Amino acid sequence: MNSIHEPQLAWLIWSLILVAVWFFVYVLLKNKDSKRKMIIVSLWTSLFGITEPIFVPEYWNPPSLFDLAHQTGFDIESFIFSFAIGGIVVVIYERIFHRQHKQMTPHEQHLARHQYHLISLLSAPATFLILLVASPLNPIYSAIIAMTVGGFATWYCRPDLKKKMLMSATLFLGIYFVYFITLIALYPGYVEQVWNLSAISGILILGVPAEELLFAFSFGFIWSSIYEHITWTKV
């Protein structure tokens, strides 16, 4: 019988820890609309799990359930992980600072800068695809750049969300850093074994790859505003 400390289960255990954080945040939410938003965004974000073959093995190559990552590039854990981070990022700001939402008026929706609404929403995936196809960058850098570009595009289109975006990015960075430390504590040497450090900067901050922290900040920066941006609501 496998021990939870065997590296084959590390990615699963680590993903489930993040789900526990997700559940803790969900329980603390007092507003039913916030809970509904958290679930909806999490379900949509879980679909990012299909992008895992882009990053395996160029960025990392984790042991996974049924050895799926090594055999196919896909794995079940990526869907769990994506589900959890999507929901946490989208509500953490309003949970801590007790903010609520309201619908934007038709007049606000037709302000000049909102004519770039669709372009803003598409800027991140378009940038990622262009960099992925046309540049030699490791996919993790393409993702970080794309999310940063998409975040600033959102900032231009929806400047009312900039405070939430910055605070959410900072909060999620802190949460993710502490969360990553749990992986290092449970599985010493796992980062060096699984991450393709020779293909990236190789910089470790208390054992955490710098790229993971850049990912966390850029993801929090763009994804914290996605629900409001799509549904024309404001904080």
Q: List, for residues 173-183, the tens digit of each pLDDT value.
A: 999 999 999 99
Please give the average per-residue pLDDT across 202-214, as a whole number: 97
Instruction: Output the furthest CA–CA distance in the chain (Å, rounded).
Output: 63
Range of the domain at 51: 7-234
Q: Has residue 122 been placed in a domain?
A: yes
Within a domain: 156: yes
Is position 183 within any domain? yes
Q: Which two tokens stand for residue 147?
A: 């999310």
Express each pLDDT in 134-165 by its tens digit.
999 999 999 999 999 999 999 998 888 999 99
Is residue 70 very low, low, confident or very high in pLDDT (cuts 50, 70, 90)? confident
Is 1 within the bounds of a domain? no
Taking the model in full, what pTM does it have?
Answer: 0.89
pLDDT digits (tens, 9 = 90+) for 39-67: 999 999 999 999 999 999 999 999 888 88
Which residue is listed with tokens 């695809």?
129
Number of domains in the chain: 1
Is 53 part of any domain? yes
Omega into 57 within 30° of 0, i.e. cis? yes
